[in-house]
Amino acid sequence: MNSVTLIILAAIIIVAVIILISIYNQLVRLKAQFKNAFSQIEVQLKRRYDLIPNLVETAKAYLKHESEILIKVTEARNQAVSALQASSADPTNGKNIQALNFAEQNLDRNMAGLNLHLEAYPDLKANTNMMQLSEEITSTENRVSYARQAYNDAVTSYNIALKTFPAVFVAPLVGHTEEGKLLEFEDSAQIQSAPKVSFNL
């Protein structure tokens, strides 16, 4: 081998190593960003979970004969807390994120049921504590939505990086094998089905 061939071979190896390092660093950075985005949503979900027992306690006096809905909300909240704790331990684990999605969907369904029951009690809705809690919960829901969008954007960026060339070949070699899972608190099947409207009297 002459010196020109050795120089070309060395240049190719150096370029390949630089590309591998660059891809690895990009994947590490994107994964760290989506873990950080998850920690932001975790803060907002914890705040939401902390408000729910206060809401239930305030509603208890008015919903004496409908305690079943309060029990369901409390159980759904506790399941969501457990799912969040598991997800917080490893937000890159798709099964944990999926469990959190299901727990949040269940909690949302039960909270919607509670809200329907609350509509029947104007005195409760006018209660100062209830109005303040409702306002705080609404504010927290908005923060959860914003944080969830930021998390989903970070996960999408990471997932796209995993699938692009040449990262698609490099990622498995450097331990980036599992795509991040999106947080979809809404029931996608329910959202996609058109609402049924009837005008029969």
Q: Which two tokens stand for residue 96?
A: 């944990």
| CA–CA dist 22, 8 (Å, integer) | 21
- What pTM was computed for the model? 0.83
Q: What is the pLDDT of residue 2?
A: 83
Total domains, the chain: 1
Mean pLDDT, rounded, of the chain = 88
- pLDDT score at 193: 47
CATH of residue 171's domain is 1.20.1440.20
Residue 92, in any domain of the structure: yes
User: Cα(first)–Cα(last) distance of the chain, in Å?
Assistant: 92
**pLDDT given at position 1:** 67
The confidence score (pLDDT) of residue 191 equals: 42
Does 71 fall in a domain?
yes
Residue at 54 is within a domain? yes
Q: What domain range is 64 assigned to?
A: 31-186
Task: Give alpha helix (H) positions in the chain.
Answer: 3-60, 67-89, 94-119, 122-126, 128-163, 167-170, 188-192
197 found inside a domain: no
Give the pLDDT confidence score for residue 96 in this predicted structure: 94
Whole-angstrom Cα distance, residue 185 to residue 91?
15
With respect to residue 171, please indicate whether it lies within any of the assigned structural domains: yes
Predicted pLDDT of residue 18: 94
| Residues in contact with 153: Cβ distance below 8 Å, sequence separation at least 6, in sequence order | 37
In a domain, 62, yes or no: yes
- Collect the ranges in the chain with pLDDT lower than 50: 190-201
Confirm whether 24 is domain-assigned: no
In a domain, 150, yes or no: yes
